[in-house]
Amino acid sequence: MIKPKALGKGLSALIPEGAEIALGEGEFFHCPIEAIEPNPQQPRQRFNEMELQELADSIREKGVLTPLLVSKVEKGYRLIAGERRWRAAQKAGLKRVPVVIRESTPTESLELALIENIHRSDLNPIEEAQAYSRWLEDTKTTQETLAKRIGKDRSTITNMLRLLRLPRTIQEDLIQDRLTMGHARVLAGLKTEEEQLRLRDRILKSDLSVRQAEARAKTSRARKQPRPPETEKAAYLQSVTDELKRSLGTKVEIKESRGKGTIVIHFYSDDELGRLIEKLG
């Protein structure tokens, strides 16, 4: 038996480091590369060609050090995890690659591929969010359950799923690394698509940091927030002021602070002053 070297965090949960690659229910062997088909549940949709070529060069020199995880299908084997290595091995001209066979349902395949990609940081934020959404839809379970399965905080899952509600333009910015996850979280906090796109344009045009974007978002929200309701005391003083204005027929102001204050009664002629004195007297 060949022992694995440097297994990724995702697969190491399935194959204990230092143990022989024999998974009880499964087998380990060198499989013809053309007998393997890609995983339709693969969360990762984009592969960087330069990185693939660098991995292919490494594989050509040292071989595939970490086995691919596959399941049996009618015409051969289907990838569960390791599509990047499989593609690079093809580029390197390998005829066979090491694989571990594991029987799994489509949902389990998605989960295993998701775990490996997350721990290897192979997914862009939108791919990761889409994988979470698909898993939740397939399993009909909660974000809390998913968080426990993949070792993440529930709030992380929630924040990732919010990205899928962003306009497609902003999602593409995330995929292409024009915006960071920090920027995306700020944009997701805005209520309307118009606000999101306006701030997105400002971030890209002015190269705003996440902190600067947060400040702009707060300013935008503050403009739209209604004024807080008057306190009971302020409402009472306003009603008294209005009553005095009606009674005296002139402008009246009440200025109050900490239980003390003044009442200012305005007059605009000697005759009006006389009238007010007579009325008050």
- Which parts of the chain have pLDDT scores under 50? 1-25
pLDDT for the residue numbered 172: 93
pLDDT for the residue numbered 6: 35
* Residue 90 contacts residue 37 (beta carbons within 8 Å): no
* Strand, helix or coil for residue 139: helix
According to CATH, what is the number of the domain 9-105? 3.90.1530.30
* Residue 102 contacts residue 70 (beta carbons within 8 Å): yes
76-81 sheet: strands from edge to edge: 28-32, 96-101, 68-73, 76-81, 36-37
- Can you give the residue ranges of every domain in the chain? 9-105, 232-280
Instruction: Output the CA angle 86-91-97, nearest 5 degrees.
Output: 40
- CA 244 to chain CA centroid, Å, is 57
Per-residue DSSP letter, 178: S
* Residue 182 contacts residue 210 (beta carbons within 8 Å): yes
- CA 53 to chain CA centroid, Å, is 30
**Length of the chain (residues):** 281
In angstroms, the CA 142 to CA 144 distance is: 5
pTM value surpassing 0.85:
no
pLDDT for the residue numbered 20: 36
Tokens for 215, please give them. Answer: 């400040």
Query: In sequence order, what E strands does the chain have?
Result: 28-32, 36-37, 68-73, 76-81, 96-101, 252-257, 260-265
Just list the catalytic residues: 83
